[in-house]
């Protein structure tokens, strides 16, 4: 049986160089009234894409209880961020390109990761396996990034917490590993390979966010992590 805490620790270690940069961007976004509602709307959009992708990879007649629960919780995360985006804006907001930050890169984050998995498993891939791996890899990033964001939200006293969301994301991580193991599909080699791809897409997304924001307040240090690939410890 896989040790999830060990994998989380390994993920954290291999992403340590992205932590300050990420925190700096999140702090900048959360402290800026012009941008914070756009940011939460973008997170809502990403959660919505995630939940849509769960639906798209399931056949209606085989969707099981853990998948429905997962779908329900990811939709709930989209609702949570949407609620606070609208509260902070003081008005309703949809997912138009003008009210999102770097939406094309947000879509590319999921689309390219999924394409990498389809490429790995082949054209006749079992979509359940792809769904489980996609969710697993995205959950590692979600737990990591939302822990950083949680501190920024608290520091800026934005009036909500990510406690419940974080507990659910952690639960999804556990569930994906358990289900991949049950299907005899879990492979740490694959996890490492997909972590490496995901990391590049994450950096690309964060770069796009900085670019759209004009980079000034969010300028990172010159030793940019763009070119660093994940290397197993």
Helices (H), the chain: 4-14, 16-31, 33-56, 65-89, 103-121, 127-155, 163-182, 188-212
Question: In whole angstroms, how close is the CB of 41 to Fe ion at the nearest point?
Answer: 15
Is the Cβ of residue 114 or residue 213 nearer to Fe ion in the bound state? 114
Residue 169 touches Fe ion, criterion: CB under 5 A: yes
Q: In a 3-state reduction of DSSP, which class is residue 232?
A: coil
CB atoms within 10 A of CB 225: 17
Closest CA to 129 of 200, 193, 67, 78: 67
Radius of gyration in angstroms for the set of CA atoms belonging to the chain, rounded to a whole number = 17
Residue 110 touches Fe ion, criterion: CB under 5 A: no
Distance CA 134, CA 200 (A): 15
> Total residues at the site for Fe ion (CB under 5 A)?
5
| x/- map, 30-49, Fe ion, by CB under 5 A | -----------------x--
Question: In whole angstroms, how close is the CB of 217 to Fe ion at the nearest point?
Answer: 27
Residue 82 touches Fe ion, criterion: CB under 5 A: no
Distance CA 31, CA 155 (A): 9
Q: Candidates 58-66, 113-121, 169-177, 208-216: pick the segment binding Fe ion (CB under 5 A).
A: 169-177
Q: In the set 77, 128, 141, 179, which binds Fe ion (CB under 5 A)?
A: 77
Is the Cβ of residue 47 or residue 114 nearer to Fe ion in the bound state? 47
Is the Cβ of residue 69 or residue 220 nearer to Fe ion in the bound state? 69
Is the Cβ of residue 10 or residue 47 nearer to Fe ion in the bound state? 47
Inter-residue contact 130 to 67 (CB < 8 Å): no
Is the Cβ of residue 173 or residue 213 nearer to Fe ion in the bound state? 173
Distance CA 85, CA 94 (A): 10
Q: In the set 27, 172, 179, 199, which binds Fe ion (CB under 5 A)?
A: 172
Binding site for Fe ion (CB under 5 A): 47, 74, 77, 169, 172
């Amino acid at each position: 049986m896989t040790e999830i805490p060990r994998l989380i620790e390994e993920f954290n270690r291999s992403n340590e160089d992205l932590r300050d940069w990420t925190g700096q961007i999140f702090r900048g976004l959360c402290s800026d009234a012009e941008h914070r509602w756009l940011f939460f709307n973008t997170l809502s959009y990403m959660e919505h894409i995630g939940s849509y992708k769960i639906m798209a990879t399931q056949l209606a007649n085989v969707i099981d209880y853990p998948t429905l629960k997962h779908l329900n919780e990811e939709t709930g995360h989209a609702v949570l961020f949407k609620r606070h985006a609208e509260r902070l804006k003081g008005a309703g907001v949809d997912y138009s390109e003008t009210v999102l930050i770097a939406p094309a890169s947000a879509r590319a984050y999921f689309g390219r990761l999924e394409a990498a998995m389809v490429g790995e498993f082949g054209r006749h891939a079992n979509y359940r396996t792809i769904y489980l791996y996609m969710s697993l890899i995205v959950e590692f990033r979600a737990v990591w990034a939302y822990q950083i964001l949680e501190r920024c939200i608290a520091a800026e006293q934005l009036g909500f917490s990510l406690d419940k969301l974080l507990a659910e994301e952690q639960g999804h991580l556990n569930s994906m590993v358990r289900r991949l193991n049950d299907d005899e599909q879990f492979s740490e080699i694959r996890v490492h390979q997909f972590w490496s791809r995901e990391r590049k897409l994450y950096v690309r997304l964060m770069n796009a966010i900085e670019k759209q924001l004009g980079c000034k307040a969010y300028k990172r240090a010159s030793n940019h992590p763009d070119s660093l690939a994940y290397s197993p410890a």
